[in-house]
Structures are given as structure tokens and as C-alpha cells.
Amino acid sequence: AVLILLCVFLVEAQYAVPQDLGYGIPNPYQYSYSSPAIGGSSSHQESGDGTGRVTGSYSVVDEDGRSRTVEYVADELDSEPTLSQTNLEPATKLLLM
């Protein structure tokens, strides 16, 4: 009898209905941080407009002053990251020309 009862509970547990987490409609938000690191720094900022569209960027600055920034836009259909660099080494500048 105990074995049958245990089997019933196991079968019931497998077919449990997932809970609605109640996230609902997204709210607009905005956040950012900046963190100094040994030999450079990093930062990140992001905002959402409440419709599912998110824009943001994150950056890294090396100890020699070179910076790299990735900017992005994402929504339910697509995401579009772009990379920009400043204070590039001379050899890198020549390659990009």
C-alpha cells in the first residue's frame, strides 16, 4: 500500500502545472555602474523602455588608455551590437584605414 501511494505521488509530481511567476508587463528601468580595476576600468549602463526594448553599453579602458565600447539595442525581434574603439595603437589605425 505504501508503494502504491508513493507511485501515485511521483506520477502527480511529474504532471504538476507550472506556476505563473506573474512577471506581467515590463516596467521602464535604468541602471549603471562603473568599476575601477587594476590597470584600467569597466562600466555598464542599460535602460528598458517598458515595451521590451533595451538599450545599453559596456566599456573597458586598458591601463594604457585604450578604450573599447559595445553599444546594443535589443527587442523581441532583434539585437544590434556595435563596437567602437578609441585611442587605438598606430598599427591598428593603419589597418582600419
H, E, C per residue of the chain: CHHHHHHHHHHHHHCCCCCCCCCCCCCCEEEEEEEEECCEEEEEEEEECCCCCEEEEEEEECCCCCEEEEEEEECCCCEEEEEEEECCCHHHHHHHC
Per-residue pLDDT tens for 53-82?
Answer: 899 999 998 888 888 888 888 887 877 777
pLDDT (tens digit, 9 = 90+) per residue, 14-54?
Answer: 555 667 677 776 789 999 999 987 888 999 999 999 888 89
Q: pTM of this prediction? A: 0.59
Pairing of strands 40-48, 29-37: antiparallel
Give the single-character DSSP code of 63: T
Alpha helical stretches, state H, 15-97? 90-96
